[in-house]
Amino acid sequence: MYQKTLSIIKPDAVKKKAIGNIINIFETNGFTISDIKMLKLSMEEAREFYKEHAARPFFNGLCEFMCSGPIVAMCLEGEGAILKNREVMGATNPSEAEAGTIRKMYGDSIDNNAVHGSDSTESAERELNFFFSN
């Protein structure tokens, strides 16, 4: 199924100057990048974006981290894009991610894991609307 999904290059990967390499990985894996935006989230925006994790113990730290510097939000498109993006990213915890995945290459810990990707059709729609509603 042809799908759209949201990818975020997080502040840690931006600080590492990995934007270009990560975009290259998406393109060489066949994704079309159909929208892209660099921005800095406010705390209020980060809390809204990650609201499904509001009750988790890592929520405040996650939101502070996501506000700690600029991020790059992208719309990735392609056949089976949602699952394929999750495969290309690798496991949430970089120490469990397979070789060759973005999180293995650029993530340092579960908190600083380089990229975010939507995990379902519902979250992809909500998350793309969050960044690209206009």
Known binding residues for ATP are 10, 58, 86, 92, 103, 113
The half-sphere exposure of 66 on its side-chain side, counting CA atoms within 13 A, is: 22
- Residue 9 structure tokens: 């290059």
32-39 vs 71-79, strand pairing mode? antiparallel
Q: Which of 13, 116, 124, 131 binds ligand CMP (CB under 6 A)?
A: 116
* Nearest residue to ligand CMP, scored by beta-carbon proximity: 116
Q: Which stretch binds ligand CMP (CB under 6 A): 23-31, 38-46, 97-105, 106-114?
A: 106-114
Residues in 44-103 that interact with ligand CMP by CB under 6 A: 53, 58, 62, 92
Q: Find the DSSP H helices in 9-120.
A: 11-15, 19-28, 43-49, 59-66, 81-89, 102-106
CB 49, min distance to ligand CMP, A: 9
- Residue 82 structure tokens: 């949602």
CB 116, min distance to ligand CMP, A: 3
